[in-house]
Chain A
Amino acid sequence: MAIHRENIKDCFVQEGKMALPNQYFAGRVGSRFIIALRDKKKILGVKCDKCNKVFVPPREYCERCMSRLDENWVELSNEGVITNYTVVHYNDKHLPRKAPYILALIKLDGADTPFPHIVEDLDPGKVTIGMKVKAVFAKETTNTIMDLDHFEPV
Protein backbone atom coordinates (compact mmCIF):
# COMPACT_ATOMS: atom_id res chain seq x y z
CA MET A 1 0.00 0.00 0.00
CA ALA A 2 2.53 2.54 -1.07
CA ILE A 3 1.68 6.24 -1.04
CA HIS A 4 2.64 8.32 -4.02
CA ARG A 5 1.91 11.97 -4.43
CA GLU A 6 -0.12 11.08 -7.50
CA ASN A 7 -2.11 8.50 -5.58
CA ILE A 8 -5.09 10.59 -4.72
CA LYS A 9 -7.87 8.23 -5.69
CA ASP A 10 -8.75 7.58 -2.04
CA CYS A 11 -8.89 11.25 -1.08
CA PHE A 12 -12.26 12.59 -0.16
CA VAL A 13 -13.85 15.50 1.61
CA GLN A 14 -15.59 15.34 4.96
CA GLU A 15 -18.47 17.77 5.26
CA GLY A 16 -19.32 19.02 8.70
CA LYS A 17 -20.88 21.78 10.71
CA MET A 18 -19.48 23.60 13.66
CA ALA A 19 -21.78 25.32 16.11
CA LEU A 20 -20.33 28.18 18.11
CA PRO A 21 -22.37 29.17 21.15
CA ASN A 22 -21.98 32.89 21.40
CA GLN A 23 -23.03 35.63 23.73
CA TYR A 24 -22.89 39.28 22.83
CA PHE A 25 -23.27 41.92 25.51
CA ALA A 26 -24.34 45.30 24.18
CA GLY A 27 -22.92 47.12 27.19
CA ARG A 28 -24.64 49.89 29.15
CA VAL A 29 -24.38 52.46 26.39
CA GLY A 30 -25.30 50.04 23.61
CA SER A 31 -28.25 48.71 25.60
CA ARG A 32 -29.69 52.17 26.13
CA PHE A 33 -29.31 52.90 22.42
CA ILE A 34 -31.13 49.73 21.37
CA ILE A 35 -33.84 50.09 24.03
CA ALA A 36 -34.60 53.60 22.69
CA LEU A 37 -34.89 52.18 19.16
CA ARG A 38 -37.10 49.38 20.40
CA ASP A 39 -39.44 51.15 22.83
CA LYS A 40 -39.44 54.81 21.80
CA LYS A 41 -38.58 54.55 18.10
CA LYS A 42 -35.87 57.11 18.68
CA ILE A 43 -32.25 57.28 17.67
CA LEU A 44 -29.98 58.42 20.47
CA GLY A 45 -26.45 59.71 20.20
CA VAL A 46 -23.95 61.10 22.67
CA LYS A 47 -22.41 64.55 22.54
CA CYS A 48 -18.92 65.66 23.45
CA ASP A 49 -19.32 69.22 24.68
CA LYS A 50 -15.60 69.85 24.49
CA CYS A 51 -15.24 68.85 20.83
CA ASN A 52 -18.82 69.86 19.99
CA LYS A 53 -19.39 66.54 18.19
CA VAL A 54 -22.37 64.23 18.28
CA PHE A 55 -21.60 60.53 17.89
CA VAL A 56 -23.99 57.86 16.71
CA PRO A 57 -24.05 54.96 17.45
CA PRO A 58 -23.29 56.21 20.96
CA ARG A 59 -20.04 55.35 22.65
CA GLU A 60 -18.70 55.77 26.14
CA TYR A 61 -15.70 57.96 25.37
CA CYS A 62 -14.94 60.72 22.88
CA GLU A 63 -12.46 59.42 20.33
CA ARG A 64 -10.78 62.82 20.15
CA CYS A 65 -10.39 64.03 23.72
CA MET A 66 -11.26 60.85 25.69
CA SER A 67 -13.95 62.63 27.70
CA ARG A 68 -16.67 60.46 29.14
CA LEU A 69 -19.82 60.88 27.11
CA ASP A 70 -22.28 58.38 28.55
CA GLU A 71 -24.15 60.95 30.61
CA ASN A 72 -24.59 63.39 27.76
CA TRP A 73 -27.29 61.86 25.58
CA VAL A 74 -28.93 63.66 22.68
CA GLU A 75 -31.93 62.70 20.64
CA LEU A 76 -31.35 62.73 16.91
CA SER A 77 -33.69 63.21 14.03
CA ASN A 78 -35.05 60.13 12.32
CA GLU A 79 -34.05 61.72 9.02
CA GLY A 80 -30.67 62.19 7.46
CA VAL A 81 -28.60 62.35 4.31
CA ILE A 82 -26.75 59.56 2.49
CA THR A 83 -23.04 60.40 2.58
CA ASN A 84 -21.83 57.22 0.90
CA TYR A 85 -23.18 53.84 -0.15
CA THR A 86 -22.44 50.47 -1.61
CA VAL A 87 -24.71 47.97 -3.32
CA VAL A 88 -24.38 44.41 -2.03
CA HIS A 89 -24.55 42.03 -4.97
CA TYR A 90 -24.09 38.63 -3.37
CA ASN A 91 -26.22 36.43 -1.18
CA ASP A 92 -25.05 34.76 1.99
CA LYS A 93 -26.98 33.38 4.90
CA HIS A 94 -25.52 35.85 7.39
CA LEU A 95 -26.54 38.87 5.32
CA PRO A 96 -29.68 40.77 6.37
CA ARG A 97 -31.26 41.08 2.91
CA LYS A 98 -31.45 39.37 -0.46
CA ALA A 99 -29.09 40.89 -3.04
CA PRO A 100 -29.07 43.42 -4.48
CA TYR A 101 -29.60 45.84 -1.63
CA ILE A 102 -28.20 49.21 -0.64
CA LEU A 103 -25.95 49.62 2.36
CA ALA A 104 -25.50 53.33 3.00
CA LEU A 105 -23.75 55.65 5.40
CA ILE A 106 -26.36 58.06 6.67
CA LYS A 107 -25.59 61.29 8.48
CA LEU A 108 -28.60 61.88 10.66
CA ASP A 109 -29.70 65.47 11.20
CA GLY A 110 -28.00 66.57 14.39
CA ALA A 111 -25.20 63.98 14.22
CA ASP A 112 -21.58 64.47 13.22
CA THR A 113 -20.78 60.86 12.39
CA PRO A 114 -22.38 58.77 9.66
CA PHE A 115 -24.38 55.74 10.60
CA PRO A 116 -24.44 52.59 8.41
CA HIS A 117 -27.78 51.00 7.54
CA ILE A 118 -29.90 49.47 4.81
CA VAL A 119 -31.84 51.67 2.41
CA GLU A 120 -35.00 50.18 0.93
CA ASP A 121 -37.81 51.24 -1.38
CA LEU A 122 -35.23 52.53 -3.80
CA ASP A 123 -33.80 51.01 -6.98
CA PRO A 124 -30.11 50.30 -6.26
CA GLY A 125 -29.27 52.02 -9.52
CA LYS A 126 -30.96 55.23 -8.39
CA VAL A 127 -29.18 55.82 -5.08
CA THR A 128 -27.16 59.04 -4.91
CA ILE A 129 -25.01 60.81 -2.35
CA GLY A 130 -26.93 63.64 -0.72
CA MET A 131 -30.28 61.87 -0.95
CA LYS A 132 -32.59 62.48 2.03
CA VAL A 133 -33.79 59.36 3.85
CA LYS A 134 -35.85 58.59 6.95
CA ALA A 135 -35.82 55.74 9.46
CA VAL A 136 -38.41 52.97 9.42
CA PHE A 137 -38.64 51.03 12.69
CA ALA A 138 -39.28 47.31 12.98
CA LYS A 139 -42.72 46.05 13.95
CA GLU A 140 -41.33 42.89 15.50
CA THR A 141 -38.44 43.87 17.73
CA THR A 142 -35.42 41.65 18.34
CA ASN A 143 -33.26 43.65 20.77
CA THR A 144 -30.76 44.29 17.99
CA ILE A 145 -29.81 47.16 15.70
CA MET A 146 -32.46 45.71 13.35
CA ASP A 147 -35.12 47.26 15.61
CA LEU A 148 -34.38 50.14 13.28
CA ASP A 149 -35.42 48.10 10.25
CA HIS A 150 -34.18 50.28 7.40
CA PHE A 151 -34.15 53.75 5.88
CA GLU A 152 -36.24 54.86 2.92
CA PRO A 153 -36.25 57.98 0.74
CA VAL A 154 -38.17 60.94 2.16
Chain B
Amino acid sequence: MAKYYGVAVEDIFNTMEERFRREGAKGVDALFGYNISGEGGGKWQVTVKDENLRVEKTEGTLEGCSVMLNADAETFVGVTIGKIDAGEAFSSGKISVDGDIGLLTNVLPKIFTKFTPPAKDVIPKDIIDSMEDRFRADKAEGVDMTIGYDLTGENGGKWSAKIKDQTCKIEEGLVPDCTVTLQMDAKIFVGLNLGLIDGTAAFTSGKVKIEGDMGAAATSAALFEKFQVAGAEEAEELISLKCVPSIDERFATGPVMARWFEGLKEKKFYATKCPKCGRTQIPPREICANCRVRCTEFVELGPKATVTYIDTVYYASPDPLTGSIRETPYAGVYVMLDGATEEENFVHELKKEEFDRIKPGMRVRPVWAEKRTGGFRDLLYFEIDD
Protein backbone atom coordinates (compact mmCIF):
# COMPACT_ATOMS: atom_id res chain seq x y z
CA MET B 1 0.00 0.00 0.00
CA ALA B 2 1.47 3.31 -1.03
CA LYS B 3 2.18 5.63 1.86
CA TYR B 4 2.76 9.34 1.92
CA TYR B 5 4.30 10.90 5.03
CA GLY B 6 3.87 7.43 6.55
CA VAL B 7 0.11 7.45 5.95
CA ALA B 8 -1.96 5.60 3.35
CA VAL B 9 -5.05 7.19 1.82
CA GLU B 10 -7.08 4.26 3.13
CA ASP B 11 -5.97 5.02 6.72
CA ILE B 12 -7.78 8.33 6.53
CA PHE B 13 -11.05 6.78 5.36
CA ASN B 14 -10.79 3.75 7.64
CA THR B 15 -10.54 5.96 10.72
CA MET B 16 -13.52 8.16 9.78
CA GLU B 17 -15.89 5.98 11.78
CA GLU B 18 -13.97 6.52 15.00
CA ARG B 19 -13.34 10.18 14.28
CA PHE B 20 -17.03 10.85 13.60
CA ARG B 21 -18.65 13.37 15.95
CA ARG B 22 -22.39 12.83 16.09
CA GLU B 23 -23.05 16.22 17.70
CA GLY B 24 -21.12 17.97 14.91
CA ALA B 25 -23.22 16.23 12.27
CA LYS B 26 -26.52 17.55 13.57
CA GLY B 27 -28.68 18.80 10.70
CA VAL B 28 -26.13 17.82 8.05
CA ASP B 29 -27.42 15.90 5.05
CA ALA B 30 -24.63 15.57 2.54
CA LEU B 31 -22.83 13.15 0.28
CA PHE B 32 -19.09 13.75 0.05
CA GLY B 33 -17.26 12.32 -2.93
CA TYR B 34 -13.52 11.78 -3.01
CA ASN B 35 -11.71 11.08 -6.23
CA ILE B 36 -8.12 10.37 -5.26
CA SER B 37 -5.75 9.69 -8.13
CA GLY B 38 -2.33 8.09 -8.15
CA GLU B 39 -0.93 5.11 -6.29
CA GLY B 40 -2.97 4.17 -3.24
CA GLY B 41 -5.85 6.31 -4.45
CA GLY B 42 -9.42 5.39 -5.34
CA LYS B 43 -12.97 6.66 -5.05
CA TRP B 44 -14.85 7.02 -1.80
CA GLN B 45 -18.34 8.11 -0.91
CA VAL B 46 -19.04 9.47 2.54
CA THR B 47 -22.69 9.89 3.45
CA VAL B 48 -23.67 11.97 6.45
CA LYS B 49 -27.40 11.95 7.22
CA ASP B 50 -29.54 11.92 10.38
CA GLU B 51 -26.40 12.02 12.49
CA ASN B 52 -25.20 8.82 10.90
CA LEU B 53 -22.14 8.09 8.85
CA ARG B 54 -21.50 5.71 5.98
CA VAL B 55 -18.11 5.39 4.31
CA GLU B 56 -17.86 3.31 1.13
CA LYS B 57 -15.11 2.69 -1.35
CA THR B 58 -16.60 2.54 -4.82
CA GLU B 59 -15.43 1.39 -8.20
CA GLY B 60 -18.13 3.16 -10.15
CA THR B 61 -18.67 6.82 -10.82
CA LEU B 62 -19.29 9.33 -8.07
CA GLU B 63 -22.72 10.68 -8.81
CA GLY B 64 -25.10 12.91 -6.95
CA CYS B 65 -22.45 14.15 -4.55
CA SER B 66 -23.11 17.39 -2.69
CA VAL B 67 -19.44 18.11 -3.08
CA MET B 68 -16.62 16.25 -4.77
CA LEU B 69 -12.93 16.59 -4.07
CA ASN B 70 -10.32 15.67 -6.68
CA ALA B 71 -6.70 15.34 -5.65
CA ASP B 72 -3.69 13.11 -6.06
CA ALA B 73 -2.98 10.75 -3.22
CA GLU B 74 0.10 12.58 -1.95
CA THR B 75 -1.62 15.95 -1.85
CA PHE B 76 -4.69 14.48 -0.16
CA VAL B 77 -2.66 12.88 2.61
CA GLY B 78 -0.42 15.93 2.96
CA VAL B 79 -3.34 18.29 3.38
CA THR B 80 -5.14 15.95 5.77
CA ILE B 81 -2.20 15.64 8.14
CA GLY B 82 -1.25 19.28 7.79
CA LYS B 83 2.00 18.83 5.85
CA ILE B 84 0.65 20.69 2.82
CA ASP B 85 -1.19 23.97 3.01
CA ALA B 86 -4.75 23.42 1.77
CA GLY B 87 -5.11 26.93 0.35
CA GLU B 88 -1.93 26.57 -1.70
CA ALA B 89 -2.88 23.13 -2.96
CA PHE B 90 -6.21 24.55 -4.04
CA SER B 91 -4.87 27.65 -5.78
CA SER B 92 -2.14 25.67 -7.56
CA GLY B 93 -4.80 23.31 -8.86
CA LYS B 94 -3.55 20.20 -7.05
CA ILE B 95 -6.93 20.00 -5.39
CA SER B 96 -10.10 20.82 -7.20
CA VAL B 97 -13.60 20.86 -5.83
CA ASP B 98 -16.93 20.43 -7.58
CA GLY B 99 -20.05 21.48 -5.77
CA ASP B 100 -20.55 23.16 -2.41
CA ILE B 101 -17.02 23.93 -1.20
CA GLY B 102 -18.40 25.27 2.09
CA LEU B 103 -19.22 21.69 3.08
CA LEU B 104 -15.52 20.84 2.99
CA THR B 105 -14.16 23.96 4.62
CA ASN B 106 -16.80 24.63 7.27
CA VAL B 107 -18.86 21.52 7.83
CA LEU B 108 -16.28 18.75 7.56
CA PRO B 109 -14.06 19.93 10.45
CA LYS B 110 -17.13 19.85 12.71
CA ILE B 111 -18.10 16.33 11.73
CA PHE B 112 -14.69 14.70 12.14
CA THR B 113 -11.95 15.06 14.68
CA LYS B 114 -8.56 15.67 13.12
CA PHE B 115 -6.74 12.71 11.65
CA THR B 116 -3.51 11.97 13.49
CA PRO B 117 -1.07 9.53 11.96
CA PRO B 118 -0.52 6.46 14.11
CA ALA B 119 2.73 6.54 16.05
CA LYS B 120 5.26 4.07 14.73
CA ASP B 121 6.51 1.69 17.37
CA VAL B 122 10.13 2.40 18.08
CA ILE B 123 12.33 -0.64 18.57
CA PRO B 124 15.80 -0.68 20.15
CA LYS B 125 17.45 -1.26 16.76
CA ASP B 126 16.15 2.13 15.54
CA ILE B 127 17.81 3.78 18.49
CA ILE B 128 21.07 1.83 18.26
CA ASP B 129 21.30 2.36 14.49
CA SER B 130 21.04 6.12 14.90
CA MET B 131 23.71 6.31 17.62
CA GLU B 132 26.61 6.89 15.24
CA ASP B 133 24.72 9.81 13.68
CA ARG B 134 23.72 11.19 17.04
CA PHE B 135 27.27 10.98 18.39
CA ARG B 136 28.67 14.35 19.49
CA ALA B 137 32.36 14.22 18.71
CA ASP B 138 32.90 17.62 20.33
CA LYS B 139 31.82 16.23 23.72
CA ALA B 140 33.97 13.11 23.47
CA GLU B 141 37.44 14.54 23.68
CA GLY B 142 39.65 12.10 25.56
CA VAL B 143 36.81 9.62 26.04
CA ASP B 144 37.81 5.99 25.57
CA MET B 145 35.12 3.53 26.55
CA THR B 146 32.93 0.75 25.27
CA ILE B 147 29.31 0.63 26.30
CA GLY B 148 27.57 -2.73 26.10
CA TYR B 149 23.82 -2.95 25.69
CA ASP B 150 22.19 -6.19 26.74
CA LEU B 151 18.50 -5.77 25.98
CA THR B 152 16.16 -8.56 26.92
CA GLY B 153 12.60 -9.29 25.84
CA GLU B 154 10.84 -8.64 22.57
CA ASN B 155 12.98 -6.75 19.99
CA GLY B 156 15.95 -7.05 22.32
CA GLY B 157 19.50 -7.88 21.38
CA LYS B 158 23.10 -7.21 22.23
CA TRP B 159 25.16 -4.33 20.93
CA SER B 160 28.39 -2.56 21.79
CA ALA B 161 29.22 1.10 21.22
CA LYS B 162 32.97 1.75 20.98
CA ILE B 163 33.86 5.34 21.69
CA LYS B 164 37.46 6.28 21.01
CA ASP B 165 39.35 9.12 19.31
CA GLN B 166 36.14 11.15 19.12
CA THR B 167 34.36 8.54 17.03
CA CYS B 168 31.60 6.10 17.85
CA LYS B 169 31.27 2.68 16.28
CA ILE B 170 28.40 0.28 16.83
CA GLU B 171 28.97 -3.46 16.76
CA GLU B 172 26.51 -6.29 17.05
CA GLY B 173 26.96 -8.42 20.14
CA LEU B 174 28.74 -7.68 23.39
CA VAL B 175 32.47 -7.25 23.04
CA PRO B 176 34.41 -8.89 25.90
CA ASP B 177 36.07 -5.74 27.27
CA CYS B 178 33.12 -3.40 27.81
CA THR B 179 33.82 -0.49 30.16
CA VAL B 180 30.24 -0.70 31.28
CA THR B 181 27.32 -2.94 30.39
CA LEU B 182 23.72 -1.86 30.68
CA GLN B 183 21.20 -4.58 31.05
CA MET B 184 17.48 -3.92 30.82
CA ASP B 185 14.28 -4.88 29.07
CA ALA B 186 14.01 -3.63 25.48
CA LYS B 187 10.84 -1.71 26.38
CA ILE B 188 12.64 0.12 29.18
CA PHE B 189 15.48 1.01 26.80
CA VAL B 190 13.03 2.53 24.32
CA GLY B 191 11.19 4.37 27.10
CA LEU B 192 14.42 5.86 28.41
CA ASN B 193 15.48 7.04 24.97
CA LEU B 194 12.10 8.59 24.23
CA GLY B 195 12.22 10.35 27.58
CA LEU B 196 9.15 8.51 28.84
CA ILE B 197 11.02 6.87 31.72
CA ASP B 198 13.24 8.64 34.21
CA GLY B 199 16.75 7.20 34.15
CA THR B 200 17.50 7.56 37.83
CA ALA B 201 14.19 6.02 38.81
CA ALA B 202 14.71 3.11 36.41
CA PHE B 203 18.12 2.45 37.91
CA THR B 204 17.14 2.75 41.58
CA SER B 205 14.12 0.52 41.05
CA GLY B 206 16.39 -2.13 39.55
CA LYS B 207 14.90 -2.01 36.05
CA VAL B 208 18.30 -1.08 34.69
CA LYS B 209 21.34 -3.05 35.80
CA ILE B 210 24.72 -1.47 35.34
CA GLU B 211 27.83 -3.61 35.39
CA GLY B 212 31.24 -2.04 35.36
CA ASP B 213 32.12 1.61 35.53
CA MET B 214 29.04 3.50 36.79
CA GLY B 215 30.68 6.85 36.07
CA ALA B 216 31.10 5.90 32.43
CA ALA B 217 27.41 5.10 32.22
CA ALA B 218 26.56 8.51 33.58
CA THR B 219 28.87 10.44 31.24
CA SER B 220 27.82 8.50 28.14
CA ALA B 221 24.41 10.21 28.03
CA ALA B 222 26.05 13.56 27.22
CA LEU B 223 27.87 12.09 24.23
CA PHE B 224 24.75 11.67 22.11
CA GLU B 225 22.08 13.94 20.75
CA LYS B 226 18.62 13.06 21.94
CA PHE B 227 16.93 10.32 19.93
CA GLN B 228 14.14 11.64 17.72
CA VAL B 229 11.42 9.48 16.24
CA ALA B 230 11.83 9.60 12.45
CA GLY B 231 9.23 11.77 10.81
CA ALA B 232 7.98 13.11 14.13
CA GLU B 233 7.95 16.83 14.54
CA GLU B 234 10.77 17.95 16.74
CA ALA B 235 9.33 18.29 20.21
CA GLU B 236 9.52 21.70 21.78
CA GLU B 237 12.10 21.58 24.55
CA LEU B 238 10.59 22.50 27.87
CA ILE B 239 12.62 23.07 30.97
CA SER B 240 11.62 21.51 34.23
CA LEU B 241 13.97 21.46 37.18
CA LYS B 242 13.89 19.07 40.07
CA CYS B 243 15.58 19.84 43.33
CA VAL B 244 15.33 18.79 46.93
CA PRO B 245 16.05 21.75 49.19
CA SER B 246 16.95 20.79 52.71
CA ILE B 247 15.58 23.02 55.42
CA ASP B 248 17.14 23.11 58.85
CA GLU B 249 14.58 22.65 61.58
CA ARG B 250 14.67 23.28 65.31
CA PHE B 251 11.98 22.10 67.63
CA ALA B 252 11.95 23.35 71.21
CA THR B 253 10.30 20.66 73.31
CA GLY B 254 9.08 22.70 76.24
CA PRO B 255 8.90 20.99 79.65
CA VAL B 256 6.07 18.57 78.88
CA MET B 257 7.29 17.15 75.57
CA ALA B 258 10.77 17.06 77.07
CA ARG B 259 9.51 14.57 79.65
CA TRP B 260 8.13 12.44 76.81
CA PHE B 261 11.43 12.39 74.94
CA GLU B 262 13.40 11.74 78.11
CA GLY B 263 11.05 8.80 78.66
CA LEU B 264 11.73 7.35 75.22
CA LYS B 265 15.43 7.45 76.03
CA GLU B 266 14.67 5.23 79.06
CA LYS B 267 12.32 2.99 76.99
CA LYS B 268 9.29 4.39 78.80
CA PHE B 269 6.05 5.97 77.65
CA TYR B 270 5.03 8.89 79.82
CA ALA B 271 1.53 10.33 79.62
CA THR B 272 -0.04 13.22 81.46
CA LYS B 273 -3.08 12.44 83.60
CA CYS B 274 -5.95 14.90 83.92
CA PRO B 275 -6.63 15.70 87.59
CA LYS B 276 -10.36 16.15 86.81
CA CYS B 277 -11.40 13.42 84.35
CA GLY B 278 -8.43 11.14 84.82
CA ARG B 279 -7.73 10.62 81.12
CA THR B 280 -4.18 9.94 80.02
CA GLN B 281 -2.79 11.92 77.13
CA ILE B 282 -0.03 10.51 75.02
CA PRO B 283 2.19 12.12 73.91
CA PRO B 284 1.73 14.24 77.04
CA ARG B 285 0.14 17.67 76.85
CA GLU B 286 0.10 20.51 79.33
CA ILE B 287 -3.67 20.98 79.36
CA CYS B 288 -6.58 18.55 79.25
CA ALA B 289 -8.52 19.96 76.35
CA ASN B 290 -11.80 18.40 77.59
CA CYS B 291 -11.68 19.81 81.12
CA ARG B 292 -9.47 22.81 80.39
CA VAL B 293 -7.35 22.23 83.42
CA ARG B 294 -3.61 21.94 83.76
CA CYS B 295 -2.28 18.37 83.92
CA THR B 296 0.52 18.11 86.39
CA GLU B 297 0.77 14.38 86.94
CA PHE B 298 2.76 12.01 84.73
CA VAL B 299 1.98 8.30 84.57
CA GLU B 300 3.85 5.55 82.81
CA LEU B 301 1.93 3.56 80.15
CA GLY B 302 2.69 0.27 78.40
CA PRO B 303 5.15 -0.74 77.26
CA LYS B 304 2.93 -3.41 75.66
CA ALA B 305 -0.20 -2.41 73.81
CA THR B 306 -3.31 -3.64 71.99
CA VAL B 307 -3.90 -2.78 68.34
CA THR B 308 -7.16 -0.94 67.65
CA TYR B 309 -6.73 0.08 64.05
CA ILE B 310 -4.35 -0.39 61.13
CA ASP B 311 -3.57 1.92 58.25
CA THR B 312 -1.90 0.26 55.29
CA VAL B 313 -0.19 2.86 53.15
CA TYR B 314 0.27 2.26 49.44
CA TYR B 315 0.88 5.84 48.41
CA ALA B 316 4.59 6.41 47.94
CA SER B 317 5.00 9.77 49.60
CA PRO B 318 8.39 11.35 50.12
CA ASP B 319 9.99 10.99 53.52
CA PRO B 320 10.22 14.59 54.75
CA LEU B 321 13.48 13.85 56.53
CA THR B 322 15.34 12.61 53.48
CA GLY B 323 13.29 13.63 50.45
CA SER B 324 13.48 10.08 49.13
CA ILE B 325 10.35 8.16 48.24
CA ARG B 326 9.25 5.76 50.95
CA GLU B 327 9.02 2.10 50.18
CA THR B 328 5.42 0.88 50.10
CA PRO B 329 3.35 -0.71 51.42
CA TYR B 330 3.89 0.00 55.06
CA ALA B 331 1.48 0.05 57.96
CA GLY B 332 0.73 2.52 60.70
CA VAL B 333 -0.83 1.05 63.83
CA TYR B 334 -3.10 2.71 66.34
CA VAL B 335 -2.51 1.12 69.72
CA MET B 336 -3.89 1.40 73.25
CA LEU B 337 -0.89 1.25 75.53
CA ASP B 338 -1.57 -0.72 78.72
CA GLY B 339 -2.94 1.67 81.32
CA ALA B 340 -4.20 4.23 78.81
CA THR B 341 -7.73 5.53 79.27
CA GLU B 342 -10.40 4.95 76.64
CA GLU B 343 -9.86 6.41 73.18
CA GLU B 344 -6.35 7.60 73.97
CA ASN B 345 -4.75 5.90 70.98
CA PHE B 346 -1.11 6.18 70.17
CA VAL B 347 0.01 5.95 66.53
CA HIS B 348 3.29 4.55 65.31
CA GLU B 349 4.75 2.36 62.63
CA LEU B 350 4.46 -1.41 62.52
CA LYS B 351 7.35 -3.74 61.74
CA LYS B 352 7.47 -3.93 57.93
CA GLU B 353 7.48 -7.72 57.69
CA GLU B 354 4.34 -8.04 59.80
CA PHE B 355 1.94 -5.72 58.06
CA ASP B 356 -0.03 -8.47 56.31
CA ARG B 357 -0.40 -10.46 59.54
CA ILE B 358 -1.64 -7.70 61.84
CA LYS B 359 -5.27 -7.64 63.02
CA PRO B 360 -7.11 -5.35 65.44
CA GLY B 361 -7.00 -6.77 68.95
CA MET B 362 -3.50 -8.22 68.59
CA ARG B 363 -0.93 -7.53 71.27
CA VAL B 364 2.19 -5.63 70.25
CA ARG B 365 5.40 -4.55 71.96
CA PRO B 366 7.72 -1.65 71.19
CA VAL B 367 11.11 -2.17 69.57
CA TRP B 368 13.64 0.42 70.64
CA ALA B 369 16.67 1.83 68.93
CA GLU B 370 19.97 0.61 70.26
CA LYS B 371 21.30 4.11 70.67
CA ARG B 372 18.61 6.43 71.98
CA THR B 373 19.06 10.17 71.86
CA GLY B 374 15.78 11.49 73.20
CA GLY B 375 14.09 11.82 69.81
CA PHE B 376 11.08 10.25 68.19
CA ARG B 377 13.29 7.79 66.31
CA ASP B 378 14.18 6.18 69.64
CA LEU B 379 11.06 4.08 69.15
CA LEU B 380 11.62 2.16 65.92
CA TYR B 381 8.28 0.42 65.56
CA PHE B 382 5.86 -1.99 67.20
CA GLU B 383 6.00 -5.72 66.57
CA ILE B 384 3.54 -8.51 67.25
CA ASP B 385 3.95 -9.85 70.79
CA ASP B 386 3.66 -13.60 70.41
Asked if A10 contacts B262 (CB within 8 A), the reply is yes
B40 at the interface (CB under 8 A from A): no
The interface residues of chain A, by DSSP majority, are classed as mixed
Interface size counted on chain A using CB atoms at 8 A: 31
- Give Cα distance in the complex from A62 to B255, angstroms: 56
A11 at the interface (CB under 8 A from B): yes
Sorted nearest first, the 5 A-B pairs with minimum C-beta distance are A19-B323, A10-B258, A26-B239, A16-B249, A31-B239
- Give Cα distance in the complex from A17 to B248, angstroms: 5
Scan B278-320; emit 1 where CB is below 8 A from any A CB, else 0: 0000000010000000111110000000000000000000111
| A37 → chain B closest CB, angstroms | 11
- Give Cα distance in the complex from A94 to B324, angstroms: 21
- Give Cα distance in the complex from A22 to B286, angstroms: 36
Give the B-binding residues of A (Cβ under 8 A): 1-3, 7-8, 10-28, 30-31, 34-35, 94, 143-144
Scan B210-254; emit 1 where CB is below 8 A from any A CB, else 0: 000000000000000000000000001111111111111111111
A2's closest neighbor in chain B, by CB? B296
Residues in A whose Cβ lies below 8 Å from that of B244: 19-22
Asked if A25 contacts B321 (CB within 8 A), the reply is no
- Give Cα distance in the complex from A18 to B237, angstroms: 32
Asked if A26 contacts B238 (CB within 8 A), the reply is yes
B6 at the interface (CB under 8 A from A): no
The interface residues of chain B, by DSSP majority, are classed as mixed
Give the A-binding residues of B (Cβ under 8 A): 236-256, 258-259, 261-262, 286, 294-298, 318-324, 374-375
Beyond A1-B259, A8-B255, A35-B237, is A15–B249 a contact (Cβ under 8 Å)? yes
- Give Cα distance in the complex from A27 to B236, angstroms: 11
- Give Cα distance in the complex from A94 to B320, angstroms: 19
| B268 → chain A closest CB, angstroms | 12
Residues in B whose Cβ lies below 8 Å from that of A143: 239, 241
Q: Which residue of B238, B246, B296 is within 8 Å of A19 (Cβ)? A: B246
